[in-house]
Structure 1
Amino acid sequence: MSTLFFTDPACLTHVTPQGHPERVERLRAILTALEAPEFAGLDRRQAPPAPEAELLRCHPAAYVAQIRASIPAEGSHQLDPDTWVSPGSWDAALAGVGALNGALDAVMAGEARNAFAAIRPPGHHAETATPMGFCLFGTIAIAAKRALDHHGLSRVAVLDFDVHHGNGTQDLLQHEPRALFVSSHQFPLWPGTGRAEETGPHGNILNLPLPPGTEGPAFRQAWEETVFPRVAAFDPQLILVSAGFDAHRDDPLAQLNLTEADFSWITHRLCDLADAHAGGRVVSVLEGGYNLDALAASTAAHVRVLRERGA
């Protein structure tokens, strides 16, 4: 078996205004990096766009209709200070959910031990009925609900190492005791949520706020001491990963100081957890990362480890 790589050209049709950090070039940089000779054997796939019913796993129908109605016929439309839509945004969002669901379904079917979905717009800031932080729909939360309700799992862990708190995933999964959500993130930083005392009504939320300037050794220690024991105790049957690479030291939107080596390390350790508890099943999806060179190199490091561990 080998690692599966899912993406969709529709994700390139979500166009943001000039100068916006979440731009088409992000995905292009990743696709270029994964064309390197070392990735020649990567199993590349495209899944059908998700039907709207998949969005309803986490979002009310009125919200889905609101987002669809907001899509402009031309130009771009601003939903909040950070979040924009263009004529291709609806197709891009459905393609992204479809790509992640396709990755999930393939791993659950035993076609591979792990998979990575390179999609945009990202998803982990979209709340139940609120688009924000470049995100329209809670892509990884939708996948978690699909794993539980469609595939019949009892315990799914969603682990987020993006530099920003995954407030949307927390909002969408905090009432789902079958899901454990863990987020490490810089704090203080937008969106201002993610304090350690935010544990959710079922105690299934674990937030790991990190101060600005945190470097690799402290990041690794925090995950080793706080996150990994909690995940092991939860004994997940599947690990879903919000892979945001904006904690890189070169990223312009925050002040954590991780490197590609740290992203390789955490990918290995998440695979260790999956091997011990989840039959090796890891499904990862792109979230943030806004320095193109750092994003491309960090994503390549992440996929390199997934391929090594999925072999």
Structure 2
Amino acid sequence: MTTGVLLDPRFNGHFMGPGHIECPERLEAIEALLKTELDFSPARIAARPASAAELARVHAPEYIDFLSRTRERAHTPLDGDTAASSLSYEAALLAAGGTIEAADFVLAGPGRNAFALVRPPGHHAERGTAKGFCLFNNVAVAAEHLIRERGLRRILIADWDVHHGNGTQNAFYARDDVLFFSTHRSPFFPGGGGWDEIGAGDGRGYTVNAPLSAGKTDGDFLFLYRNILGPIARAFMPEFILVSAGFDIYAGDPLGGMRVSLEGFAGLASELMDLAQETCGGRLLLVLEGGYHIDGQARAVREVLRRMAGTRAAPDIRADISITTQKEITPVVDVQRAFWPL
């Protein structure tokens, strides 16, 4: 397996202010750890700015223009917890365009996967608004590129961030060519993401939400990905798998309230690698979303990359769930049985 990594220092021009939890140190810690503690040499993927046309497949032109004008000011508030610096627009263009480049890297040959280590993150960004630390929806932009420019017909987006990927869901809610699967804490920011949000029109059944209470463990997450996403994905047969990889489900994260260990992240990577191998020739791209325990996120990214490259074995984790989790996922299974073999 050839594993690619996209990481660019220009992402760190995006700065939302002193003390903000979504900060350049997130990527700086990852880069430092990968230089000293990664036991393979990944293929390096170069970032490039997304074009206006590529962004306009997901975002309104007037919103793109508005963000472009943030270059004129040192600090521009965008919502209650999101802001732009004078370099944020450039970073956001590179994050979206870099995610496209990483998708093309995976698509270019057999036996390839990749991790786009980008910021700002993207899965909360809506068609016409920034939200939840996100400016452009990197994963949605890449999915549209794969469909419109590369001719793919079925894309799976899995989102394991602790927060629901509202922007990604809304981008594809009425479509049957993109299957969106999200595990997330609820009730929690940004709201929504209920089990009864299943898509609309042609997209009914192509949105799968598993809202969870706090405290979920490795076993809970692996059970959901193995026993809910697994059968659905095998029936859908995606041609490419994109992952909104949020590391705020890490046990030490200051925001998330979940209990996933370093081994648990390697286990999630294993599950998705297995699904990609069974359905789409191993085509798998992870894209960084949240994660605010600086050291823990860096170490988790390392373990995920090692698993993706095959330099570490799949962890031996029992996919067991608690009674509480069983109760929480029962309505998910019940509503999705109308569409998938669960």
1:54 aligns with 2:54: yes
Report SS of the residue matched to 2:296.
helix
Question: CA offsets, 1:78-130, max 9 Å, x none?
Answer: 11111110011011001111211111111111175101110100000001111
Q: Indicate the structure (1 or 2) with the bigger Cα radius of gyration.
A: 2
Q: 2:295 aligns with which of 293, 296, 300?
A: 293
Extract unaligned runs of 5+ from structure 1. none
Change (3 A) 1:112 1:32: farther
Report SS of the residue matched to 1:35.
helix
How many Å separate the matches in 1 of 2:39 and 2:62? 42
How many Å separate the matches in 1 of 2:128 and 2:38? 42
Change (3 A) 1:30 1:37: closer
How many Å separate the matches in 2 of 1:309 and 1:39? 7
Question: CA offsets, 1:122-163, max 9 Å, x none?
Answer: 000001111100001111011011111111011000001001
How many Å separate the matches in 2 of 1:216 and 1:117? 23
For residue 26 of structure 1, report the CA deviation from its aligned partner: 0.4
Match of 2:241 in 1: 239
Report SS of the residue matched to 1:134.
coil
Change (3 A) 1:181 1:240: same
Match of 1:10 in 2: 10
**How do 1:27-106 residues align onto structure 2 when only pairs under 5 Å count?**
27-74=27-74, 76-106=75-105
The residue type equivalent to 2:32 in the other structure is T
> TM-score if structure 1 supplies the norm length?
0.96
Query: Is the Cα contact below 8 Å between 2:124 and 2:168 reproduced in 1?
Result: yes
For residue 219 of structure 1, report the CA deviation from its aligned partner: 1.9
CA RMSD of aligned residues (A): 1.5
Match of 2:162 in 1: 163
**How do 1:1-311 residues align onto structure 2 when only pairs under 5 Å count?**
1-74=1-74, 76-110=75-109, 113-201=112-200, 202-203=203-204, 204-308=206-310
Change (3 A) 1:40 1:127: same
Extract unaligned runs of 5+ from structure 2. 313-342
Identity %: 39
Q: Mean alpha-carbon deviation: is it higher for 65-74 or for 53-62?
A: 65-74
Query: Is the Cα contact below 8 Å between 1:49 and 1:96 reproduced in 2?
Result: yes
Query: Is the Cα contact below 8 Å between 1:246 and 1:288 reproduced in 2?
Result: yes
Question: CA offsets, 1:12-62, max 9 Å, x none?
Answer: 100121111100000101111111253451212213222121101111211
How many Å separate the matches in 2 of 1:200 and 1:281? 25
Report SS of the residue matched to 1:79.
strand
Report SS of the residue matched to 2:38.
helix
Query: Is the Cα contact below 8 Å between 1:72 and 1:85 reproduced in 2?
Result: no
